Amino acid sequence: MRIQTILIGTLATCIFLAAGGGLLIGLSPSSSLAIGLGVTLSGLSIGLALWLHYKLRRGLRSLHQQITANEHQPRGQSGFLELDTILSTVQASLDESANKAKLLREESDELKALVLRLDRRETVGRSSATPVRQLAGILSSFGTQIETDISQIQACGREINRCADHIAAGGQEQTSAVNKSARMIESISNFVDTVLEDASAANTSAQSTFQSARDGLKEFEQLLGELSEIQSLVSNREKRLRALGEHTREIGFIVQTIGQISSRTDLLALNASIESVRAGEHGRGFAVVAQEVRSLAEQSAEASRDVAMRIENIQNETQQSIAVIDDEHAQVQQVLKRLAKAADLLRSIDLLASDAAKRTSRLSQCTEQQLRLTQEFVDVMQRISETNRGSRSHVEGVRWTTKSLDKLTQQISGTVRHIIPQSQQRLTEPVRNPPAECNLEDAFGDEIWQGNGTANAVDRISHQLDSATAILQANN
């Protein structure tokens, strides 16, 4: 809460209370109640002023304590907004000052180290024991670090080698599995070839069956037509035979009439003979004529009987022929019915053969596609096998590389082991009569400290490490 607001509020309240108390006492000076109320209000205004005083004092004390204690984190609120803002600003300034002091300390430390180093360089000409020891320590720690790294590199190389072995073994198994699969697929391909040949043969047979069924159906339909013609011919012949039978029957009637006439003639001649007999001697000539007439009548009767017999024979034969033709007609009808059934069966065979031809054609196409896919699968397997062979060669390369890396790390390790004992020897060697001039060749031996020997050795190690890193990266 802002101080201004509190002050104005408190002042206004005190004025109001004091005014109220004075007004009550002034209006009724004799009334004890009014006097009591005026005193109470005056006391309240005084108490309020005292509370405000206490609050302000406590906030200021807290601010003072926090500033003097130089605390980075505020412990609490003062209760006044202005005081809290000041406190925050002061704390920010303190933090900034602390950081700057830290930086200054670091800079001072660096400056001190620099000054110390400069001092040491200045004293190198007088005493080389301390820098040599320092350099030996650096090299020792550097060599230790390098040896640790080399150990890790060797461990990584062994792990890579083990993985490469696993990969090679897996690749070999995969190659054998792929080869086996390829052989099986080739066997399947051979079977599919056989199935394709059989399907082609079945397709050809189905086509031939279909064509034969169609030809047979055509022949059958022609046969049906011819049999229908034969049936019509048989019907015509039956009609003609029936007509012939009818004619012969009419002829029989005529012959019967002739026979009756001849019989009547015979009787007439007989009567004439009787009359001639009754006439006695006068009728003898008439009797001869009557006898001749009777003879002729008998001949004609005999002839008519003969004709009637022949006609009867003809009629019998005609009836037999008609019966035979009826049988033939019935047989032809039965044959036609059977042929119609056979034609239906042939049509069914035709449909079935057509369906079989379509199915075998589809089967042949599917088998060809299956063969093509099998061949593509064999190609894919062969490519996988080739890839596996390539992977094996790569694994061999990895093995060779890890061997090279191992050899390189052994070389580095040898170099480092060559450096570390000498530096440790230098570290453990007591300083005796430091030379007037610092001779680095004497200090680090011929290999390291001849001219830029140390730098060359470090460069060589660095180069070998770079090579190892490059190999590892290449392997990765």
Partner 1 sequence: MQQIDLTYSDKYCVFRSGDDRFCIPAPSIRNVGPRPVLCRLPMTDDVLAGVAHEQREFFPVYSFRVIRGVGLQSQKEQQMLVLSADSGPWGLLIDEVHGLESLELSLNSHRGQSGTWSAICVGSTAFKDQVVTAIDSQNVLEFVQERLSQSWNQARQHAVELSHTSQIESGDAVHTG
Dihedral (CA of 10, 14, 17, 23) sign: negative
CB of 264 to partner 1, least distance (A): 8
CB of 268 to partner 1, least distance (A): 9
Helix axis angle for 32-69 and 81-122, nearest 10°, is 10
Q: Give the CA dihedral 203, 206, 207, 212, nearest 10 degrees.
A: 160
DSSP-assigned letter for residue 286 = H
CB 434 within 8 A of CB 126: yes
CB of 250 to partner 1, least distance (A): 24
Pair of tokens at residue 398: 């990895």
Q: What contacts 442, CB < 8 A, 6 or more positions away? A: 435, 449
The whole-angstrom separation of Cα 342 and Cα 330 is 18
- Of 275 and 376, CB closest to partner 1: 275
Helix axis angle for 440-448 and 284-428, nearest 10°, is 150
Pair of tokens at residue 393: 């060669």
- Of 249 and 305, CB closest to partner 1: 305
- Of 273 and 388, CB closest to partner 1: 273
CB of 267 to partner 1, least distance (A): 6
CB 300 within 8 A of CB 257: no
Pair of tokens at residue 307: 């004709």
Pair of tokens at residue 313: 């024979």
Estimate the share of the chain in helix, then strand, then coil, as percent rounded to the nearest 5: 90, 0, 10
The whole-angstrom separation of Cα 462 and Cα 408 is 12
- Of 305 and 394, CB closest to partner 1: 305
- Of 273 and 367, CB closest to partner 1: 273
Which positions touch partner 1 (CB under 8 A)? 264, 267, 270-271, 273-275, 277-278, 294
- Of 19 and 274, CB closest to partner 1: 274
> Hey, how many other C-beta atoms are within 10 angstroms of the C-beta on 405?
23
CB of 292 to partner 1, least distance (A): 13
CB of 293 to partner 1, least distance (A): 12
CB of 256 to partner 1, least distance (A): 15
Core vs surface per residue 79-98: b (16+ CB within 10 A) or e: ebeebbeebeeebeeeeeee
In single-letter form, the type of residue at position 403 comes to K
CB of 272 to partner 1, least distance (A): 10
- Of 49 and 289, CB closest to partner 1: 289
CB 47 within 8 A of CB 13: no
- Of 278 and 432, CB closest to partner 1: 278
CB of 249 to partner 1, least distance (A): 24
- Of 287 and 307, CB closest to partner 1: 287
Pair of tokens at residue 34: 């009014």
CB of 243 to partner 1, least distance (A): 34
CB of 271 to partner 1, least distance (A): 5
CB of 329 to partner 1, least distance (A): 40
- Match 């030996």 to its residue by tokens: 136
Core vs surface per residue 129-146: b (16+ CB within 10 A) or e: bebbbebbeebbebbeeb
- Of 72 and 278, CB closest to partner 1: 278
- Of 290 and 325, CB closest to partner 1: 290
DSSP string, 315-373: HHHHHHHHHHHHHHHHHHHHHHHHHHHHHHHHHHHHHHHHHHHHHHHHHHHHHHHHHHH
- Of 254 and 270, CB closest to partner 1: 270
